[in-house]
Amino acid sequence: MPKMKTKSSAKKRFKVTANGRVIAGQAGKRHGMIKRTTKFIRTARGTTTLSAPDEKIVKKYMPYAR
């Protein structure tokens, strides 16, 4: 069997934690921050873990991520 390929876009955007959860950057923070509430900006700092259905999709793209 040939090696499976990892999606280049996925390896740049996601990281798998030691427990197997997938970490991603917060969405909705590229532009238009003026109209966002201060609370939204504050809570959307850093990274977030993906939901289970999204996690399943991303893990398919990264077969060798542990």
Q: Which residues pair with 25 in a beta bridge?
A: 47
DSSP letter at 6 equals P
The answer as to whether 1 is a domain residue is: no
pLDDT in tens, 22-41: 999 999 999 999 999 999 99
The answer as to whether 29 is a domain residue is: yes
The answer as to whether 2 is a domain residue is: no
Residue 66 pLDDT more than 90?
Answer: no
Interval 36-60 mean pLDDT: 97
The answer as to whether 57 is a domain residue is: yes
The answer as to whether 3 is a domain residue is: no
- Kind plus residue range of the DSSP H or E element containing 11: helix 8-13
Interval 39-59 mean pLDDT: 97
Considering the entire predicted model, what is its pTM? 0.84
What CATH number is associated with residue 49? 4.10.410.60
**Tally of structural domains, the chain:** 1
Contact criterion met (CB below 8 Å) for 63 and 4: yes
53 vs 38: CA distance, rounded Å:
29
